[in-house]
Amino acid sequence: MGFLDRYTAQILGLVRIVSGLLFLEHGTMKHLNFPPGDMHPPIASLGGAAGVIEIVAGTLIVLGFYSRPAAFIASGTMAFAYFLAHFPRNIFPVSNGGDAAILFCFIFLYLAAAGPGAFALNRK
């Protein structure tokens, strides 16, 4: 699609911002009950640690501030979450509820490699 080539940096920046906001929302639901949800793990548990990573990494990714290392950590967190929480339920991601974890994992892995794109506070 050659007609979008000149917007590559802006599209990458938008993908980073939207993915970061969605990731951040998972963490705020766990620890701040916003938006209201039913998952509120203790902060010292694996789910609680994941929530902290989601808040911190999600914020850094949205801002484009050290987004490469934040995205790399977020990618690993989602791979770990998939195999620990979703895969044991069922082999198929659509059946085990892990499709979002897989998408987050690979989107963040791509962002770690490609960089933040446009609208970032820094290029790291």
Over residues 78-113, the pLDDT tens digits come to 999 999 999 999 999 999 999 999 999 999 999 999
pLDDT exceeds cutoff 90 at 1: no
% of the chain with per-residue pLDDT over 90: 96
* Phi then psi dihedrals of residue 111, to 5 deg: -65, -35
Residue 87 DSSP symbol:
T
Position 110 scores a pLDDT of: 98
- Enter the pTM of the model: 0.95
Q: Compute the Cα dihedral for 14, 15, 16, 20 and give only its sign.
A: positive
Going by C-alpha positions, the residue among 6, 24, 5, 9 that lies closest to residue 77 is 24
Higher pLDDT, 68 or 2: 68
Maximum Cα interatomic distance, the chain, rounded to a whole number of Å: 49
Which tokens go with 10? 């802006």
Residue whose entry in the numeric block shows the structure tokens 């892995």: 109
pLDDT exceeds cutoff 90 at 124: no
